Structure 1
Amino acid sequence: MTDRDRLVQLISDLAVVRGRVTLSSGEEADYYVDLRRVTLHHDAGPLVGRVMLTMLDNAGIEFEAAGGLTMGADPVATAMMHQAAAQQRALDAFVVRKKQKDYGMGRQVEGPDIAGRKVVVLEDTSTTGESALTAVEAVRAAGGDIRAVAVIVDRDTGAAERITRQAGVPYLYAFSKTDLGL
């Protein structure tokens, strides 16, 4: 079984919750994909890192750092960083706060400096694209050169089009809702 096949199975088994839910966007849906059940899982986390790296590499995206809005992107970036290290590849992770700190260093983007570096903005799943766009804005303000926005699961609800249009960068996803049988 390939990493991709195993990961889609784990997402279906662990993360897909059926029933009426309200999403972070405020919209209602008949299912919820709780990807923290996967990104923080001992078997699935490493698969997330490998699948996301492979997807970005296959798309020809060059990048030196990856991260996004806390909290959905944090374990994705960390999984990618660890899997890159296992491949003898340097990849830094970063975290984007929802708003800039008003104390300490006053940063909104935490981790190694991304100014002037090629970066990918991550999200675990996307409905409206709002979280990714918030991260894009912060990363650009911090001087990051955004090469793409990448998510594990795209809900096919307009996020791809919105992000591509507003951020002006490619939008990639590892799995669609169809891949999950939704």
Structure 2
Amino acid sequence: MTAASTPELEADRQALIALIKEEAVFHGDFTLSSGKKATYYVDMRKLTLDHRAAPAIGRIILDLIRDVPGISSVGGLTLGADPIANSVMHESARTDAPLDAFVVRKEPKDHGRGRQIEGADVAGKRVIVVEDTSTTGQSALKAVEVLRRDGADVVAVAVIVDRKTGAQAAVEAAGLQWLAAIDLDDLGLDAQ
């Protein structure tokens, strides 16, 4: 559990937790992107793409990364990271330290400029990978691999919901800082 730095941001965080519990936690039998089985699924795309939650997500992630110096942009593996990066970019435009956003494609384009990273130029820049939920950390680490290959200095991975199932250890083993806004304790769920 990570408390926000101001009462207003903590109110945003608590409102987001309530929305997640009400609208984004589904119970049943699910296979996660990692291949692991779970009895619940946290579908953050329902909220990262929702007008009620997106601005708060931007503010919460900005607060989460506030102490990481010299960041120029945020983004991650498409599709989960895209709306988060956009929310952060838009909310940061209201500050004295605006951030740009980038998208990491799963594969390079086979036409045009053949790019795998779209948006902000990341070469030689300090960047943070964002993700909606994380189980093993492999999606974030795939984005990190592509970003490093393109010359980015990836310094952290920031997630909205940490499933507490090994992602933090995997990310930290890759030499990156792990930042999570909400975890299973906040949602009243057990790690699986």
TM-score (norm 1): 0.95
SS in 2 for 1:64: strand
Could you tell me which amino acid in structure 1 is paired with residue 112 of structure 2?
A: G
CA distance in structure 1 between the aligned counterparts of 2:96 and 2:49, rounded to whole angstroms: 23
What amino acid is the match of 1:95?
A: V
Aligned to 1:121: 129
d(CA) in 1 for partners of 2:42 and 2:186? Answer: 13
Gapped regions of structure 1 (runs ≥ 5): none
Q: Percent identity?
A: 53
Matches within 5 A, 1:101-180: 101-165=109-173, 167-180=174-187
Q: String of CA shifts for 1:108-139, please: whole Å, max 9, x gaps.
A: 11112111111001111011111001000011
Count of matched residue positions in the alignment of Structure 1 and Structure 2: 179
- Please state whether the residue corresponding to 1:86 is helix, strand or coil: coil
The one of 84, 87, 90 aligned to 1:82 = 90
Aligned to 2:52: 43
List structure 1 segments (4+ residues) > 2 angstroms apart after TM superposition.
86-89
What RMSD over aligned residues (CA atoms) do the two structures have, in Å?
1.1
Q: 2:23 aligns with which of 14, 22, 25?
A: 14
Shift of 1:87: 2.5
Tell me the amino acid that sits aligned with residue 12 of structure 1.
K
Match of 1:73 among 76, 81, 84: 81
Q: Tell me how far apart the structure 1 counterparts of residues 133 and 115 of structure 2 sit (CA, whole Å).
A: 25
Structure 1 residue 88: Cα displacement:
4.4
Gaps of 5+ in 2: 1-7
Q: Report the secondary structure of 1:41's partner residue.
A: coil
Q: Distance in 2 between matches of 1:148 and 1:163?
A: 8
| TM-score normalised to structure 2 length | 0.90
